[in-house]
Amino acid sequence: MNVWLVETTTKGENNKRLGLASKLEGAMLQRISTQSVNHCAKRTGMSLLSIVDKTEHRNTVLPFIEQLIQTYEPPDVIVSSGSKANSLMIPVSAKLFTDSFWVNIGKPRRFHDLADLILLQAWEQTSLTTDSANVCHIKGIPHHVTSESLAKQRAATSCHFERYRDTKKILVLLGGAISGGAKTDFYDRFFMEHLRTVLFGMSNNGHAVFVANSRRTSNAFWGKLKAEVVSPNIIHIDHDKPGAFSYLSLLANADTVLVCADSMSMLWEASATNKPVFALVPWSGRGPTPEPQARNLEILLRDGRVIPFSQLMDAAPKTSNRPLDFSAEFAKVTLERVKHWRSSRQVKQTFSKEPKSQLIF
Beta carbons within 8 Å of 311's beta carbon, 6+ residues apart = 278, 317
Mean per-residue pLDDT, 175-190: 56
Confidence of residue 238 (pLDDT cuts 50, 70, 90): very high
Look up residue 304 and give its amino acid: G
Mean per-residue pLDDT, 44-54: 57
Distance CA 231, CA 241 (A): 21
Phi, psi of 255 (to 5 degrees): -90, -30
Q: Is the dihedral of CA 107, 329, 30, 348 positive or negative?
A: negative
Radius of gyration of the chain (CA): 22
Return the top range by mean pLDDT from 52-66, 118-132, 211-225.
211-225
Q: Say which CATH architecture domain 2-142+327-348 belongs to.
A: 3-Layer(aba) Sandwich (3.40)
pLDDT score of 360? 43
pLDDT score of 361? 40
Q: pLDDT averaged over the chain?
A: 79
User: For 51, how many CA atoms within 13 A lie in the half-sphere containing its CB?
Assistant: 28
Beta carbons within 8 Å of 37's beta carbon, 6+ residues apart = 48, 60, 61, 64, 88
Domain boundary assignment for the chain: 2-142+327-348, 147-311
Mean per-residue pLDDT, 20-47: 75
Please provide the CATH number assigned to the domain covering 147-311: 3.40.50
Q: What pLDDT digit, counting tens, does each position of 335-359 carry?
A: 999 898 888 877 766 655 555 544 4
Distance CA 270, CA 252 (A): 10
Is 147-311 in the same CATH topology as 2-142+327-348? yes
3-state secondary structure of 347: helix
Q: What pLDDT digit, counting tens, does each position of 166-175 carry?
A: 999 999 999 8
Q: What pLDDT digit, counting tens, does each position of 82-116 carry?
A: 776 766 666 555 555 567 888 888 877 655 567 78
Distance CA 278, CA 15 (A): 22
Confidence of residue 329 (pLDDT cuts 50, 70, 90): confident
Q: What pLDDT digit, counting tens, does each position of 281-296 carry?
A: 876 666 667 778 888 8
180: left (phi over 0), alpha (psi -120 to 50) or beta: left
Q: Is the dihedral of CA 291, 294, 298, 304 positive or negative?
A: positive
Distance CA 184, CA 188 (A): 9
| Distance spanning both ends of the chain, measured CA to CA | 28
- Lowest-confidence segment of 82-96, 147-161, 226-240 by average pLDDT: 82-96
HEC profile of 147-204: HHHHHHHHHHHHHHHHHHCCCCEEEEECCCECCCCCECCHHHHHHHHHHHHHHHHHHH
Residue 118 has pLDDT above 50, yes or no: yes
